[in-house]
Amino acid sequence: MSPPPSPDDDALPPDEEVVIRQAEQADLLDVFRLERSTFPQPWPFSAFESFLGERGFLVAQSGTSPAIVGYVVSDTTPNYGRDIGHVKDLAVHPDARGRGLGRTLLRRALGTLASDGSALVKLEVRTTNDAAIALYRSEGFEPLRRIPRYYADGEDAFVMVLDLAEWDDSPLDGNDSGGRTRESRGA
The pairing of beta strand 142-147 with beta strand 157-163: antiparallel
Active-site position among 124, 139, 151, 183? 124
Give the whole-angstrom CA distance, residue 153 versus residue 98: 27
71 is catalytic: no
80 is catalytic: no
3-state SS class at 42? coil
C-alpha to C-alpha distance for 134 and 51, rounded to whole angstroms: 27
| CA dihedral (160, 165, 166, 167) positive or negative | positive
Among residues 35, 136, 139, 155, the one annotated as catalytic is 136
CA 181 – CA 160 distance, rounded (Å): 14
Strand order in the sheet with 57-62: 18-22, 57-62, 68-77, 84-92, 120-126, 157-163, 142-147
Which residues form the catalytic set?
124, 136
